[in-house]
A and B are shown apart, each in its own frame.
Chain A
Amino acid sequence: MFPGSKDHVVRGAMMEEEPEYDASQSREADLVPATPEAILALRGHAGVSPEAVRRALELALPTPGPEAWTHFLDRTLLFLGGLLATSGVVCFFAFNWQALGRLARLGLVEAVVVLAALGAWRLGPERLAGQVLLTVAAVLVGPLLGVYGQIYQTGADAWNLFLAWGLLIVPWVLVGRNPVLWLLLLGLGNLTAWLAWGQLAGPDPWDSTSFYLWMCSTNSLAWGAWEFFRRRNPGPLTSSWVSRALAALCLFYAAVPSWMALLESRFEGPWLGPVFLAALLVAIFRLLRPRDPDLFLPAAGLAAAISVVTVAASRILLEESEAEEAGILLMGVLVLAQVAGAAAWLRRAGRSS
């Protein structure tokens, strides 16, 4: 996703003179990367001189070659130039905004969106420049709708704008097959729900357990659908960042009502929050973990579980116990023990992957 972050960094002396790899060697041996940590572990070992460690670091951390630098320069100039130019355009519009007439304001933003979309169509979503232009067009649909609402005083609520924005860019998201666009759509959907809930359903979403559980359900469905389709269609949709974002949202929406249930009272308040959280943890550890070595999902699940256990313990040890000092000390030890246990599990899981 980021310019220069490809495998071009691994070039240079290692690859130029290296003979063909002996296939009779164990496959496992080839899986251990020559990270600085791996090489530094050899320091002081019998038969490994400081010069050998220095040379190993040189081989493991080669500086990029001319080809890699050219590629990096090309991508960085494109991304950085596009970003700065777009920012400049936004500032220019902002400066002249009051002086522009209605049609000029609308026309300018529309023109940028249309040009970007045409450019993306012309270049195609297979090319990076096409993806960048499509993303720019999708992002600018929001300001376009904002300007429209400002000029014509439609009286629409903010959630209407975000809903319209999300719906309008759906075709581009499907065509683009770009994780950034999917993340944008995810963000717009969640934002729409937050804003709409308060106006249509009544209670402030921050205080509404029902809202969190509803959001957990819908995001979980989206997550499930995403995992289903990405396993069937590997390619651009295999980006782990969309999964991670969906998982983090689902866990957040399940953890908050769990805290609320624990803090309000031990015997009052809905207990669906912990039930949802438990279901998510089962999904992460039982269904996804065996198929996906990414440790982010288990780490996020453990963080959510730790937060709920800590809140429960604080309720018992601090509010309902009379020995406050001992309670505070026990809370510290409990947090340490939980985090240590989580870190140990994640390290073991990382090794077995």
Chain B
Amino acid sequence: MRPPLVRVLRRLGREGLVDLEAVSGLLAVGDQGERHSAPWFVRLLVGFGAWVASGFLVAFLFMVDLVPEDLGAALFGAFVLAGAGALRRSPAAEGSDFLQQSALAGWLVGQLMVVFGMAEGTDSPPVTAGVVLLVQVASMAFFADAVARFLASGFAVASVLALMLHWKVPQGDEVAFLLSALGAGLIWWHRPALLAGRFPQAVNPVGYGLVFSALALLALALADPLEQHPSGILASTALSAGVLLMAWCLLGERRRSGPGLAVLGLVLLLGLATSSAPGVMAAVGTLVLGFRAGERGLLALAWSFLLFFLAAFYYNLEVPLLEKSGLLLASGALLLGLRALLRRCG
């Protein structure tokens, strides 16, 4: 729920930042901008449609032998990406959903061409992953489409994961998770400043993309398809430190009061208790960021992920059932106990 734009504009007028006489005109401009944003399910429909369309288009290109081989395909893909980017930014696309969807589908086709071409041409996973990562960073910054930016952040995280696994970085999947979690945390924490910066339209989609990717990586680490046997300790420690830092900043002057110390103590103890279940602290961190930013989507994502994580954690064989039971019961009791204590303290 946001305040009305007219109130914000009149407040700016009283502070001398805008002309009060111009408020009506500015309201109309802002209204137009707000109307262009779409609910999540419309974006989901658009994104899914773009994927399906790009699948057909890629199949067509291969059937008519229009795609060169090896590095030629990557170069072809780069041209397609540039063309899609130019189309998306063109004035004609602003008022045309068809052109916007075509640009998005073209972007996906270009991505597939680049990945395919680099993989075939160089036969070098780190080079391929590095190029893909660069393409995603450029897309996040310059491709003016929220769905594309969301997907680009996910592809970027996947590239980082591929690099970690190729270089056999110890606990590579956890490191990739932490990098994406760090990125997400920085974006959501500094969102107002970033929105006033150079790439404001990229902030929300990339922020959501990084959170989604980070949580997906954590879920993947739990499933452990590549048999990396992650312990979760690294992720839990870093997440606990992150949540503790956020709590420290949020408490401000109250951090030395009784309730403040209780909250800091709770975060520390919860982090210790759930050291082998990093999903709990990941969900807590997402909840704090989401509430601070006023983003219901983040709150919903956090709760959905937590339910999924607990179900997957139950079936995970790395931790014995009795230990799982102990840590979950202890954590639950800790949280409920603190709630009772804080209520008593008023």
Binding site for B on A (CB under 8 A): 2-5, 7, 9-10, 14-15, 18, 21, 25, 29-43, 45, 47-61, 63-64, 66, 69, 72-74, 76-92, 94-95, 295-296, 299-300, 302-303, 306, 310, 324-325, 328-329, 331-333, 335-344, 346-347, 350-351
A57/B97 contact (C-beta < 8 A), A38-B33, A72-B291, A88-B325 known:
no
Given contacts A64-B291, A336-B98, whether A32 and B5 have CB atoms under 8 Å apart is: yes
Q: With a CB–CB cut-off of 8 A, which chain A residues contact B290?
A: 4
Q: Is B196 an interface residue (CB 8 A)?
A: yes
Check B3 against A14 for contact (C-beta < 8 Å): yes
Within B293-316, the residues touching A (CB, 8 Å) are 293-294, 296, 299-300, 303, 306-307, 310, 313-314
Expressed in whole angstroms, the Cα–Cα distance for A89 and B7 within the complex equals 50
CA separation between A152 and B106, bound complex, in Å? 61
A344 to B100, alpha carbons, bound, how many Å? 11
Residue of B nearest to A76 (CB): B287
Flag whether B137 is at the interface (Cβ < 8 A): no
The answer to whether B263 and A85 have CB atoms under 8 Å apart is: no
**Known contacts A9-B1, A88-B332, A303-B45, A38 near B63 by CB under 8 Å:** no
Tell whether, in the assembled complex, residue B37 and residue A35 are in contact, meaning their CB atoms are under 8 Å apart. Answer: yes
Query: When the two chains form their complex, are residues B100 and A340 in contact, meaning their CB atoms are under 8 A apart?
Result: yes
Chain B proximity of A345: nearest CB distance (Å): 9
CB distance from A40 to the nearest CB of B (A): 5
10 contacts between A and B (CB under 8 A): A36-B204, A47-B18, A52-B12, A77-B339, A88-B328, A95-B322, A295-B41, A325-B60, A333-B53, A350-B39
Contact B195 A299 (CB under 8 A): no
* A338–B49 touching, CB < 8 Å: yes
Contacts A74-B342, A295-B39, A328-B56 given: A30-B4 contact, CB under 8 Å? yes
Q: Using Cβ atoms and an 8 Å threshold, which residues of chain A touch B96?
A: 340
B5 engages A36 (CB within 8 Å): no
Residues from chain B with a CB closer than 8 A to the CB of A18 are 7, 11
The range of chain B's interface size is 35 or more
Residues on the A chain within 8 Å of B11, using CB = 14, 18, 59
- Please name 5 further chain A to chain B contacts, defined as beta carbons within 8 Å, in addition to the given A56-B8, A328-B60, sorted by A numbering: A2-B300, A35-B34, A36-B204, A41-B30, A61-B195
A339 near B45 with CB under 8 A, answer yes
Query: B17–A41 contact, CB under 8 A?
Result: no
Tell me which residues across on chain A come within 8 A of B263, comparing CB atoms. 73
> A140 to B36, alpha carbons, bound, how many Å?
45
Contact bitstring B308-346, A, C-beta under 8 A = 1, else 0: 001001100000111011111111111110110011000
Given A37-B34, A45-B26, A85-B332, decide whether A325 and B63 contact each other with a Cβ distance below 8 A.
Answer: yes
Nearest CB on B from A52, distance (A): 4
Q: Is the CB of B7 within 8 A of A14?
A: yes
B226 proximal to A (CB < 8 A): no
Given A2-B300, A56-B8, A64-B291, also A339-B49 (CB < 8 A): yes
Smallest CB separation, A179 vs chain B (Å):
14
CA distance A319 to B331 in the complex (A): 58
Q: Is B168 on the interface with A (CB-CB < 8 A)? A: no
Would you call B250 and A69 a contact (CB within 8 A)? yes
Is the Cβ of A41 less than 8 Å from the Cβ of B15?
no
Q: Which residue of A lies closest to B326 (CB)?
A: A88
Contacts of B280 in A (CB 8 A): 84
For B330, the closest partner residue in chain A by CB is A88
Most buried by B among A25, A74, A329: A329
**B336 touches which of A2, A10, A82 (Cβ 8 Å):** A82
Contact A89 B329 (CB under 8 A): yes
- Whether the pair A35, B2 counts as a contact (CB closer than 8 A) is yes
Residue of A nearest to B16 (CB): A52
B335, A77: Cβ atoms closer than 8 Å:
yes
**Which of these, B54, B204, B310, contacts A83 with CB under 8 Å?**
B310
Q: Are A78 and B299 in contact (CB under 8 A)?
A: no
Q: With the chains together, A347 CA to B283 CA distance in Å?
A: 33
By the criterion CB–CB under 8 Å, are B12 and A84 in contact? no
Q: Is the CB of B39 within 8 A of A347?
A: no
- B19 on interface, CB distance cutoff 8 Å: yes
B36 adjacent to A335 (CB under 8 Å): no
Please name all residues of chain B whose beta carbon is closer than 8 Å to the beta carbon of A59 when the two chains form the complex: 3, 8, 11-12
**A32-B6, A35-B2, A55-B12 as given contacts; A40 in contact with B195, CB under 8 Å:** yes
Measured CA separation A299–B38 after assembly (Å): 11
A77–B17 touching, CB < 8 Å: no
Is the pair A36, B200 in contact by a Cβ cutoff of 8 Å?
yes
Residue among A40, A54, A303 having the largest count of chain B Cβ atoms under 10 Å: A40
Interface contact A299-B41, CB-CB below 8 Å: yes
Q: Interface digits, B262-303 against A, CB 8 Å rule (1 contact, 0 not)?
A: 010000000000000000100110010011111010011001
Docked-complex contact B325 and A92, CB < 8 angstroms: yes
Does chain A have a CB within 8 A of B101? Answer: yes
- Inter-chain CA distance A63–B251, complex, in Å, is 13
| Nearest residue, chain B, Cβ from A346 | B42
A12 to chain B, nearest CB (A): 10
Tell me whether B339 and A2 are in contact (CB under 8 A).
Answer: no
Closest A residue by C-beta to B35: A351
Contacts of A43 in B (CB 8 A): 200
